Amino acid sequence: MPLHFELVTPARHVRSDDVHMVVVPGTEGEFGVLEGHAPFMSTIRDGALQIFKTAGASPETIEVRGGFAEVGENGLTILAEHVEG
């Protein structure tokens, strides 16, 4: 089952994808989000998101600054003020 992942900045909708897992650098430690994760909200420290397209694939990284993560029924949404890469 894929995880629906969205990355949004004030200027544009950066990504909207179905992926296997995303590792998010939360303020209180990194956490990985898989499909079916419990509803969850966290602020993010400035750092890299790691996106695993499929299980075991090498991750794609996206640098975010000023971020906020929300996990709900329809997957993971990251709101970030700045995105690089």
Partner 1 sequence: MANLKELKGRIKSVRSTQKITKAKQMVAAAKLRRAQEAAEEARPYAERLNAVMASLAAKVGDSAAAPKLLTGTGSDQRHLLVVVNTDKGLCGGLNANIVKEALRKAAALREAGKTVEFYLVGKKGRAPIKRANASAIAKHFDTSDVRTPGFNEAEAIANELLEMFEDGAFDVAHLIYPIFKSALAQNPTVQQLIPVPAPEAGDVPKADAVVEYEPGEEEILEALLPRYVRTQLFAALLEREASEQGASMTAMDNATRNAGDLIKNLNIEYNRQRQAAITTELIEIIAGAEAL
Q: Is 10 in the site for partner 1 (CB under 8 A)?
A: yes
Q: Taking the CB of residue 1, how many other CB atoms lie within 10 A of it?
A: 7
Distance CA(85)–CA(62), nearest Å, equals: 6
Among 38, 54, 56, 85, binds partner 1 (CB under 8 A): 38
Give 10 or 56: the residue with its C-beta nearer to partner 1. 10
Give 41 or 57: the residue with its C-beta nearer to partner 1. 41
Q: Taking the CA atoms of 5, 72, 79 and 13 in sequence, report the sign of the dihedral they define.
A: positive
Residue numbers of the site for partner 1 (CB under 8 A)?
8-13, 26-28, 38-43, 66, 68, 70, 77, 79, 81-82
